[in-house]
Structure 1
């Protein structure tokens, strides 16, 4: 599925509207947003509210080797616990890096409103666009789950995929679970090497 998403052209199937407030460029931007948001969630386990809130200059850091980490600060974390998570797939990290280079400002949102990335994407509009993408994925890839599933599915999927490779405490910190799920008071994950290594092994299979 990840390869399929990476291969999608946001402009495919988009036509100039005859009337209405949305231009062709905005329609393409909406589809690009839905694709990139899904890729980001698939490879970081971010909640949709967290992914939509992150800003380049405040939450995203890159290293010389091309690795990208997202710091989920307390103010945008659902559980009010700060954590630092890597983008687990190099191809998605490269796409994020390309998106960053094309941002109008480092103060812009990583995803942002399709019409203005300086503004956070409206939750309702985001949900509708993502639902359309999931319906397309369900049809193209014959995945019935995506006909009804929503953005939280990626956290469950990642957790299940890494179940046998990454200790529970590391996974809990990575996903930013609350105290009862986290089984402790872990608030920050600084060593993400086991998550990255496990993700790379899974990609190689």
Structure 2
């Protein structure tokens, strides 16, 4: 039950932040804060990111921020220094191999129950592309690249999938007169 709840929280936070699994799961509680408006934010220091560029990352859905705030409070209450501690020992971080196995099982379940075949092979990292694409027109490129921790060129090439077919159809109608 503890493992499943943690896995659900990991998927929800990744879906609303685009954080890499390690960036999210290896964060101590001290790296997290909840703003007055209820937004949960993790402060990633340069040494913990793949690109060695620190950045604050907000949780983009209020319901997930609320859920995460409850997890932060619960972890503090049991004396854990970790947001995602070992299910058997709150003083230790959750072993990445064990955690990733449990996450894979949840994603396989989601793939089957929600009919999302992509989750059979693509998991947490897919949220980076999803969020980057959703924010494509809403944020300047420089802000998006900083948020997701890549250069503009890498971000454009690997993490955006601009596939708004409605816009393409409308543009074609205009061109056809």
- Tell me whether 1:69 sits opposite 2:41 in the alignment: yes
Change (3 A) 1:76 1:118: farther
- Tell me whether 1:136 sits opposite 2:109 in the alignment: yes
Change (3 A) 1:170 1:97: same
Alignment of 1:159-174 (within 5 A): 159-174=132-147
Matched residue of 2:47: which SS? coil
May I ask how many residue pairs the two structures share in their alignment?
Answer: 154
Stretches (4+) displaced over 4 A: none
- Residue in 2 that maps onto 1:151: 124
Gaps of 5+ in 2: 157-177
Cα offset, 1:118, TM superposition: 2.5
Cα offset, 1:130, TM superposition: 0.6
Greater C-alpha radius of gyration: 2
Gaps of 5+ in 1: 1-27, 184-205
Q: Give the whole-Å Cα distance in 2 for the aligned partners of 1:34 and 1:78.
A: 22
Q: Would the aligned equivalents of 2:145 and 2:152 in 1 still touch at CA under 8 Å?
A: no
RMSD: 1.7
Normalized against structure 1, the TM-score is what? 0.70
